[in-house]
Structure 1
Amino acid sequence: MSTAIVVGGGIGGTAAALALVGRGWSVQVLERVPEVEAVGSGISLWSNALRALDALGVGDAVRAHGMAEVSAGVRDERGRWLSRTDVTTLRERFGAPVVIHRARLLDILRAALPEGVVRTGISVREATVDGRVLHSAGTSCADLVVGADGIRSVVRRAVCGDVAPRYAGYTAWRAVIDLDEPLTEFGETWGRGRRFGMAPLADGRVYCFAVYNAPEHAPGSLADVGELFAGWHHPIPALLAAADPHAVLHNDIYDLPALSTFTAGRIALLGDAAHAMTPNLGQGGCQALEDAVILGNSVGEPNGLAEYDRRRRPRAQMIARRSARIGTIAQLSTPTAVALRDTAMRLTPASAQLRAMATVLDWTC
């Protein structure tokens, strides 16, 4: 039986383990943290990700625990629509996206794995191209090592050497919030160098995020964020006021430069370890799920890892570039540039938006 070690037990790593188990592999997932915390954020699973989850056999379970998004678009600070997504056509053309808490998604993926596959509390120090993994519990060897250990991946060093993440120029605060009133619309609000996004979850809570231009590692507090978005349209101030400071995530936003390869020897990289991207397209987790399915499909073929690299690297890097461009536009801060951006968005027909989405969402495995 072929063996695999997956370094990293997040969404991409757990999905990769599920794909490999489905191919008859013996898999061990090594996860650094001792347990998954419930705090965190939501994730939008677009149609491409849902097809990947269907291929893994958990698509229906995810849909049952997720919230089908009901309305979408981008507004300005006063709440006036800059663009509206044609939700009916979106559903008919691509299928409805789903919003789910990341912890819930991870629970579903882990529950589909055999008992004992995921080993928590194990830190990996090094991986080598011959399939050896040095970690806090000793040394393990396998036919395949999957580097799913995030943007600051240890495994990536064996494939590409040291690759420094790039700061995008903006920082993000994320939270899942209990709100007294139901939220029936989701989407983003764009201002001058600032953005706010919100989406309802199936349990009645709201996932939201606040993004603003800032120097790297700039200090800040939730109260500071509230001041930055004071006066923005309802329910943005109410959401920030209701956020628990102890359950809010604050992260500077980074991406990776385009790697020359996702594979070396017996190692394959996936997710943020391979193509960490800014969150502007909502595709980071979605692309990790695509990676997992294609990796599982490729390992049984001749030159399987080369095939995985051929199929995944161009697409993931294209989406990362597009996401970075959207972030540049969304974070414009000068009055003239923002006015031009907002006017262009109002004049762009919904049909053009759907055509632009097709290259991302029209993915099949």
Structure 2
Amino acid sequence: MRGGSVAVVGGSIAGCAFASAAARAGAEQVVVYERTRGRMADRGVGLCVHDDWAAELTAAGTLPAGVPTHRLTRRRWVVRDAAEPAGKPFWEQPFPFHSYHWGLLWSGLREATPASVVYRQGVTVAGVTGGGAGAEVALAPADGGAGAAERHDLVVGADGYRSVVRDAVCPGSRPHYAGYVCWRGNFDARLLERLGADVWPSDAVTTVCFPGGSCVVYRIPGPDGTRVNWVLYAVPPRGTLRLDDPTSFPPGHLTAELATGLAELLDREFPPRTGPA
């Protein structure tokens, strides 16, 4: 766009990327509202970007050069099999992606945000209302006083699954619990070396499949060397979890019942050489 004022609600990866793109496209003013105060926590999880898309974003200046990546070329699918301790592969496909560490990618995007972008931290957006040729961003009382609002020509939502912008566009829309949970974590890649390159190839995303779920495993660059990122989708043991609202458990808040259920799932469904150490 040329000219005008753009507000971006949420200053994480998507928010920083869009703010940079809007500024480079000619917006007269770009304001990012981020509720986190100070430096955003390093979440230490991975994400993957297709090679072609990464090249396009880099050429456009949205994805800064120099952000550490790990190259991936294929995706393997395996299941538990009594005759194969490392699991039985049943499918493999090309996977031309690079993986990123969330914290390192966010840091790179934040540092590459044009100086003209106003990045306001510690500011919570309470709601967004449209009308006429633009929209108003209402700030929470602690961040500007009751009723404080700022008007922009365009408001972009990059504020996650509890998005106030989504609520403004689709009033009353709410996520519903799908009946399963997503476990995620990461660890030092050196812990996999003793299993052999055939079990966890460094250039592969390996997906372990089992009834009712799957686990995706791949390497990511880390602040202190290569790490392994894993994401496991499974139904929790009956009676151990009740979610009436979208939520997540931060590190250190896992219940003993859920931890036991996860350990039993790994012992029962994962190939022995891909299960817990």
Query: Is TM-score (shorter-chain normalized) higher than 0.5?
Result: yes
Deviation at 1:160? 1.6
**Structure 2: where are the runs of 5+ without partners?**
82-86, 194-199, 244-254
1:142 matches 2:142: no
CA distance in 2, matches of 1:168, 1:51: 35
1:211 equivalent in structure 2: 233
Question: In structure 2, what is the Cα distance between the partners aligned to 1:77 and 1:122?
Answer: 48
How far has the Cα of 1:45 moved from its partner?
1.1
Candidates 29, 32, 41, aligned match of 1:29 = 32
Q: Which amino acid aligns with 1:124?
A: V
Residue in structure 1 matching 2:20, options 12, 18, 27? 18
Paired residue secondary structure (2:20): helix
Aligned residue type for 2:242? H
Write the distance in 1 (CA, Å) between the matches of 2:260 and 2:46.
22
The answer to whether residue 274 in structure 2 is matched with residue 236 in structure 1 is yes
TM-score of the superposed pair, with normalisation by structure 1: 0.57
Give the SS at the match of 1:61: coil
Q: How many Å apart are 1:97 and its aligned residue? A: 0.4
Structure 1 residue aligned with 2:50: 46
More helix by share: 1
Cα distance in 2 between the residues matched to 1:84 and 1:51: 24
State yes or no: 1:109 paired with 2:113. Answer: no
The normalised TM-score by structure 2 is 0.74
Q: Could you say which residue in structure 1 is the equivalent of 2:135?
A: 131
Q: CA 1:102–1:49 in structure 2 vs 1: closer, same or farther (change >3 Å)?
A: farther
Q: Distance in 1 between matches of 2:88 and 2:177?
A: 31
| Partner residue in 1 for 2:248 | none
Task: Report the CA distance between 1:23 and its aligned residue.
Answer: 1.1
Compute the displacement of 1:142 (Å): 1.3
Shift of 1:114: 2.6
Trace 1:1-365 onto structure 2 (pairs within 5 A): 1-25=3-27, 26-34=29-37, 35-47=39-51, 49-59=53-63, 61=65, 65-78=68-81, 79-85=87-93, 87=94, 96-115=96-115, 117-129=118-130, 130-136=134-140, 137-138=143-144, 139-179=149-189, 180-182=191-193, 183=200, 184=202, 185-202=204-221, 203-214=225-236, 217=242, 220-231=257-268, 232-233=270-271, 235-238=273-276
| 8 Å Cα contact 1:127/1:158 also seen in 2 | yes
Q: Tell me, yes or no, if the aligned pair for 1:40 and 1:174 is still in contact at 8 Å.
A: no
Query: What is the identity, as a one-letter code, of the residue corresponding to 2:180?
Result: Y
Aligned residues: 230
Percent identity of equivalent pairs: 28
Using the TM superposition, give the Cα deviation of residue 199 of structure 1 relative to its aligned residue in structure 2, in angstroms.
0.3
Q: How far, CA to CA, are the matches of 2:125 and 2:273 in structure 1? A: 43
Structure-2 change in CA distance of 1:181 and 1:213 (3 Å): closer
Deviations 1:297-336 (A, max 9, x none): xxxxxxxxxxxxxxxxxxxxxxxxxxxxxxxxxxxxxxxx
Against the structure 1 CA distance between its residues 160 and 48, is the aligned structure 2 distance closer, same or farther, given a 3 Å change threshold?
farther
In structure 2, relative to structure 1, the CA distance for the partners of 1:168 and 1:52 (3 Å cut) is farther
Q: Quote the offset at 1:207 in angstroms.
A: 0.3
Whole-angstrom CA distance in 2 between matches of 1:225 and 1:153? 30
1:235 CA displacement? 5.0
Q: 1:348 maps to which residue? A: none
Contact 2:17 2:62 (8 Å CA) reproduced: no
Please give the alpha-carbon distance, in whole angstroms, between the structure 2 residues aligned to 1:234 and 1:16: 44
AA paired with 1:112?
A
What do you get for the CA RMSD once the two structures are aligned?
2.4
Q: Is the 8 A contact 2:43 2:102 kept in 1?
A: no
Whole-angstrom distance in 1 between the partners of 2:122 and 2:187:
29
Pick the structure with greater CA Rg.
Answer: 2
CA contact (8 A) 2:36 2:123 kept: yes
The answer to whether the Cα contact below 8 Å between 2:73 and 2:97 also exists between their aligned partners in 1 is no
